Amino acid sequence: MIEPTGWDGEECPEPFLKWPGGKRYLADRIVKHFPAAHGRYYEPFVGSAALFFAHRPADAVLADKNAELIACYEQVRDNCEAVIRRLRKLKNSTEDYYRIRAKEPTDGAWRAARLVYLVKLAFNGIYRVNSLTGKFNVPYGDHEGRVVFDPEKLRRASRLLQGSKLLVADFEVALADAGEGDLVYLDPPYTVAHNSNGFLRYNTKLFSWEDQVRLANCAQDLADRGCHVVVSNACHKSIRSLYSSFRVHRIIRSSRMAADNTYRRRIAEYLFVSGSSGEN
C-alpha cells in the first residue's frame, strides 16, 4: 500500500481545465471517502481530473474516451514548457477566439494549448463538439480581459502527472488490470432523463442506460476483486438500485454547468462506496 504523495508545502494544484460534470467543488468531500493508503489509483472518466489533483496519488491510471483531452494531459505532463510558450502567443478577443477555434493544429503542444484556451474562453466553459464533424463549436463567452492560463498551475499539474499512465479507452479496458488494494474512482456522464440534472442534454449520446448497467456490474466486479471503489452518479432510484451492495451517501451541490438558469439550482448526487450497504 502507498499513501498519496505530498507537495512539501507547495500549493496543491487545481484542475487547469473546466469540464462538464467536473468535481472541482466537491473534491474535498469525495476524497474523505478514499482510504488513507491504497495501491494504484484509477480514474477512467478523468474529465478535469479534479479528484486526481485533490488526492495526489503517486501512481495512477487516468483514462477517457476523449482523445483530445488525453492528448492535452500528455502534453502538459511531457512537454509543459512548450504548451506554455504557445499559450503565451494566444490573445483573448472575440476575433482571436474564432480564428483559433477554426484551426486544427497537428503539433501536440499547439493542440493542447488550443484546448486550454478554448475551454477557458468558451461560453459558460462548455466543451462541446459537432456530432457530425467532431469540431469544437462553442461560441465565445465574452471574456475579454480574462487571463487565459496560469503557467504555475500548469507546471504543478505537470509535476503531479509524471506518475500517471494516460489512456484513451473505454472504462472496462482502462480498469482491466485493477486488483486488490487499488483505488478506483468512477464519475460517468449522468444520463437519467427523469433526473433533469443539467448534464442530460450534453451527455445522453455519450453514456447510455446500458452503459450505466455495464458500469455498475464493473464496479461490483472490482469490489469483488478487493478494489476500493467510489462512484459518483445521479441521485435517482433507478441508479440506486444498481449499487445495492455499496454504501450510499447523498451530496448536495449547485449545478454550475448549464447555460440556462433553469438548470442552475441545488441538486443531490449519489456517492457509492464499496463495502457494507447502507445509506447516509
Q: In the predicted model, is pLDDT for residue 198 greater than 90?
A: no
Tens of pLDDT along 75-103?
999 999 999 999 999 999 999 999 999 99
Tens of pLDDT along 208-252?
888 999 999 999 999 999 999 999 998 888 899 999 999 999 998
Grid coordinates belonging to 181? 488494494
Q: In the predicted model, is pLDDT for residue 197 greater than 50?
A: no
Q: Which one, of 251, 250, 244, lies nearest residue 274 by Cα?
A: 244
Tens of pLDDT along 2-32?
555 444 444 556 899 988 888 988 999 999 9
CATH code of the region 74-154: 1.10.1020.10
Residue 247 three-state SS:
strand
- Ranking 88-97, 116-125, 188-197, 269-278 by mean pLDDT, the lowest is 188-197
Q: In the predicted model, is pLDDT for residue 190 greater than 90?
A: no
- Side-chain half-sphere of 63: how many Cα atoms within 13 Å? 20
CA dihedral 179, 180, 182, 185 (to 10 degrees): 80
Q: In the predicted model, is pLDDT for residue 110 greater than 70?
A: yes
> Amino acid identity of 63?
A
Q: What is the pLDDT of residue 7?
A: 44
Sequence-distant (6+) residues with CB within 8 A of 204 are 191, 193
Is the pTM higher than 0.95? The answer reads: no
Supply the angle between the helices 108-121 and 94-102 in degrees, to the nearest 10.
Answer: 140
Q: What is the pLDDT of residue 192?
A: 47
Mean local confidence (pLDDT), 67-74: 97
Q: Which one, of 237, 259, 256, lies nearest residue 248 by Cα?
A: 237
- CA dist 207 and 27 (Å) reads 22
Average pLDDT, the chain: 87
Confidence tier at 166 by pLDDT (50, 70, 90):
very high
Asked if the 27-65+169-279 domain carries CATH number 3.40.50.150, the reply is yes
Provide the edge-to-edge strand list for the sheet that holds 183-186.
164-168, 60-64, 41-43, 183-186, 228-234, 266-273, 247-254, 278-279
Q: So where are the chain's domains? A: 27-65+169-279, 74-154
Mean local confidence (pLDDT), 178-200: 73
